[in-house]
Amino acid sequence: MARLYKIQTEANTFYGPLRNMIPVDRFCNENVYCTMAEWAFHPKQIKQVVALYRKYFSENKWPNLPIEVEYVKADDYYMSPWNSANIIVDGQDTEFLVKINIMWYTTIEKKASNEATGRFRKQVEDHAKGIWDILKANNIPFKAHWGKVNFTTPKDVEKLYDYQAFQPRIQHQFLNSYIKSRLPA
């Protein structure tokens, strides 16, 4: 696989998002750029969620491989994406959540990295927002990983997380603008 990652034309035929990369090998080549959106869902809704993802990607023709789908044990940390509190389906809580992590890859040459990275990031965020909006429109409760692409609003935080209990523990010097924009005032 490492040989195929090379940017040289004779070594590969990849142009645009790479569809067959092994995620753990993304650091093999410094010109490979990866962006992820990782969200957790109640297991009872996973068939509906997968159908919505398929519908979105079918309509928008965006390559969306690789995708990780796995069970994660629910925890009780206030702001954790794996905290199943408030992800209730048919009146039931759950001890496990289903995590879907979509990874978008592309190769970006060093000399064009700032502009190319920005363009790629915008494409990814537009598509992630499209999926996010479909999930919200279908009233799917889910939580997003804070360190990856998400569009959590302060209202989402109030609805899905135990923010009041977490708030006294916030160390404001560690908050960046991305996190601040998602937390209630």
**Does 158 map to a domain?**
no
Write down the pLDDT at residue 57: 87
**Cβ contact 72:97 at 8 Å:** yes
Report pLDDT digits (tens) over 115-125.
777 888 888 88
For the residues of 142-164, what is the DSSP string, one character each? EEE-TTSS----HHHHHHHS-HH
Find the domain containing 9 and state its range.
2-150
Rounded to an integer, what distance in angstroms lies between the CA atom of residue 123 and that of residue 78?
Answer: 32
Helix (H) or strand (E) holding 57: helix 46-60
**Does 124 map to a domain?**
yes
Write down the pLDDT at residue 133: 97
What CATH code is carried by the domain that includes residue 94?
A: 3.30.70.2520
Write down the pLDDT at residue 152: 94
**Does 179 map to a domain?**
no
Report pLDDT digits (tens) over 13-57.
444 444 444 444 545 556 667 788 999 999 999 999 999 998 998
Write down the pLDDT at residue 29: 54
Helix (H) or strand (E) holding 106: strand 96-107
Q: What is the DSSP letter of 81?
A: T
pTM assigned to the model: 0.78
Write down the pLDDT at residue 81: 93
Structurally, the chain folds into a number of domains equal to 1
**Does 113 map to a domain?**
yes
Bridge partners, residue 103, by sequence: 36
Report pLDDT digits (tens) over 134-157.
999 999 999 999 989 999 999 999
